[in-house]
Amino acid sequence: MTASLGHSAILVALALAVWGIVAPILGARTGRQRYFAGARAAIVGQFFLVTVAALSLIYALVTTDFSIKYVAFNTTRATPVYYRVTGLWGALEGSLLLWEWILIIFSGLVAWIYKDRHRELMPWVLMIFSTVSAFFLAVIGFASNPFESVFPVPLDGRGLNPLLEDANMITHPPLLYTGFVGLTVPYAFAMAALIKGRLDGDWIVTTRRWTITAWFFLTMGNLVGAWWSYHVLGWGGYWAWDPVENAAFMPWLPATAFLHSVQVQERRGMLKVWNLSLIIIAFSLTIFGTFLTRSGIISSIHAFSSGPVGTLFLSFLAFILISSFGLLAYRADKLKGRPELDSMVSRESAFLLNNVVLVSALFTIFLGTIFPLISEAVAGVQVSVGAPYFNSVTVPLFLLLVFLMGVGPMIAWRKASWDNLKRNFLWPAVAALMIALFLFIWWIRDFLPLLGFTLSAFVVFSILFDTALAVRARCRIAGEWIGSALVTLARRNQRRYGGLVVHLGIVLIVLGIAGSMSYSIERQATLNVGETLAVGQYKIRFEGLRGSQQPTHYRVQGAFRVFNNGDESGVFSPTLKFFPNQQSPIGRAVFRSTFTEDLYLILSGFSELQQNRATLKVLVRPLVAWIWLGGLVIALGTLVAIWPFKQSAVSE
């Protein structure tokens, strides 16, 4: 019953989506307005139908309706209600439905917000939404149906992968999908602008907030993924350059490039073709990511089922690339750039270089991810490149990017004068060099981390220095108090100051990555009861093992008393959980996090529960906490940038 309701809703929505594609074309042919209204109605209809479908699946999951295969595979009677709901994105079929649901929510929002605006563009914007939606609906309806029934109906379900039973799983996939789907908004406006030949950059101004929002969700999705990997997967790292991680990270790069390069177009009318290409690439990569992870062509530690879905996504990807770039070529005459760069030392060129670096990073990551395919096709041998490749190639690029973060926002447009450079960068550079000297003398002798910390300091100083100058000017002119001057500045120019706060957040992440990449300590040993392992300034004494039967699994817990520089800091209990329907146990690492470093304990094995011998892996990872803190600062900065202040429209 629930299943047929959900499935029919999907099929009717598909019919509406097709109408949503045809209607604007008919409207353009005949000139009748009611066809354009039809494009809108198609979106609204899809919104309600897909919502019905999604709610049906959630209802089936919550009521554990095991006649539906998807429910039987992803819940059990014992699963708590909230994990039943998150079962919606526990596997492929439901994930696609969630994706479609978010997409159609975004489409509905766009249709509603711009009801009376952009009359020329809107029918085409909605057509693009319907096109993407039609693809997903067709996949959900025919190739990967979450409402498929199973017979005989099992007595109990198989349940989620226990690794997914974690609070972060509630947020990670929806955040990431929202980021992916959010990129559809600027893409749809860009395509509509191309179709109508209205390429004055209106679409960029309109989609500004949407793009920032999408970027924010993409950033958070990746960070929460890293957090989950670090805190739950229990291998002591937060990023492994796994193809699945790369697939989620790649769209972030052109999206970030786009956020910067559109400012050049807004300000100077340059880079029109480039901006359109970036958004096409960013959107395509969200589809490519799904293709990559669902087609099984690249082996990944993340186990996913494969099937016809991969091929469908590849076809859709080809369709998007050919039609989008075809349209771009067709409109090439309208996209002639206006002025060229006036000077190599200017904000334009800083942004341009930022774009080149981001796209280079994208290219290298893309190449590394699909390298096994290339080498197989070209040389007949499978050669893969692992984390060392990605690290050695992207670290220099990202360091250059950090440097540009310190320069770009402060340097003058058109042509930076010597005075401008001296005024904005002399003191920050001097301060950063002093920090470098200090670090070199006291702690850090390795080149890359030293460079990373120095550049980070430069960014922080240049942001603080610039803000301080602006605040001082306001205090003098308007006679304001420092705090209120800062608030006025941020409100008057929220995109700039929001962006600067985001940059500070990125710097914190860079610090965390630089520290933990360069100065981690890793030890593993098998200990008898009473034995002590020394790692850095820590001494870890093994005090015994305890096994206990839990409702869903059998648990083995180790007790390790930790001494930090001789001071006791408590007993750590890393755990191994043995689930009856899983072949291998699931480790639960224990860690203590401080701003200087994390201590991370993993129980990797034990022999003879009675004899009490345990194999322990210990990691000391400096500065990791700053990565998560950076995420919070980025969220704050994004809020500053997009918060709908009343006056901001006036001052911009």
Partner 1 sequence: MRRSRFIVGGIVILAALSYLIYTGMREAAVYFVTPSELKAQEKPSKDRFLRMGGMVVQGSLQKDLTNLTYRFQITDGKETIPVYFRGVPPDLFSEGKGAVVEGRFGADGVFQATIIMAKHSEEYSPPKEGIHSDLRSFVPDAGEKRP
Residues of this chain that interact with partner 1 (CB under 8 A) are: 156, 158, 233-235, 237, 240, 242, 301, 303, 305, 340-341, 344, 356, 360, 363-364, 367-368, 371, 381-390, 392-393, 396-397, 524-526, 547, 549, 553-554, 556, 576, 578, 580-585, 587, 602, 604-610, 613, 615, 617
Instruction: Name the phi and psi angles at 346, rounded to 5.
Output: -160, 170
Structure tokens at 296: 């099984």
Alpha carbon distances (Å) from 239 to 110, 242, 451, 508, 646: 35, 8, 21, 16, 41
Question: Among residues 189 and 238, whose Cβ is nearest to partner 1?
Answer: 238
CB of 303 to partner 1, least distance (A): 5
CB of 58 to partner 1, least distance (A): 23
CB of 631 to partner 1, least distance (A): 22
Structure tokens at 606: 């034990």
Question: Among residues 564 and 582, whose Cβ is nearest to partner 1?
Answer: 582
Which region, left, alpha or beta, applies to residue 179 given φ > 0 means left and ψ of -120 to 50 means alpha? alpha
Characterize the bridge pairing of strands 554-564 and 538-549: antiparallel
- Cis omega (within 30 of 0) for bond into 449: no
Structure tokens at 274: 């480039």
CB of 449 to partner 1, least distance (A): 19
Question: Among residues 567 and 608, whose Cβ is nearest to partner 1?
Answer: 608
CB of 607 to partner 1, least distance (A): 5
Question: Among residues 108 and 368, whose Cβ is nearest to partner 1?
Answer: 368
Question: Among residues 194 and 402, whose Cβ is nearest to partner 1?
Answer: 402
- Do the Cβ atoms of 524 and 540 come closer than 8 Å? no
Question: Among residues 479 and 580, whose Cβ is nearest to partner 1?
Answer: 580
∠ Cα 623 495 209 (to 5°): 100
Question: Among residues 9 and 556, whose Cβ is nearest to partner 1?
Answer: 556
How is residue 565 annotated by DSSP?
T
CB of 575 to partner 1, least distance (A): 12
Question: Among residues 381 and 649, whose Cβ is nearest to partner 1?
Answer: 381
- Do the Cβ atoms of 533 and 527 come closer than 8 Å? yes
CB of 54 to partner 1, least distance (A): 26
Alpha carbon distances (Å) from 438 to 13, 58, 267, 434, 622: 64, 57, 40, 6, 19
Closest CA to 471 of 457, 458, 484, 462: 484
CB of 522 to partner 1, least distance (A): 10
Question: Among residues 357 and 432, whose Cβ is nearest to partner 1?
Answer: 357
Instruction: Using only the alpha carbons of the chain, give its radius of gyration.
Output: 27
Instruction: Name the phi and psi angles at 144, rounded to 5.
Output: -140, 70
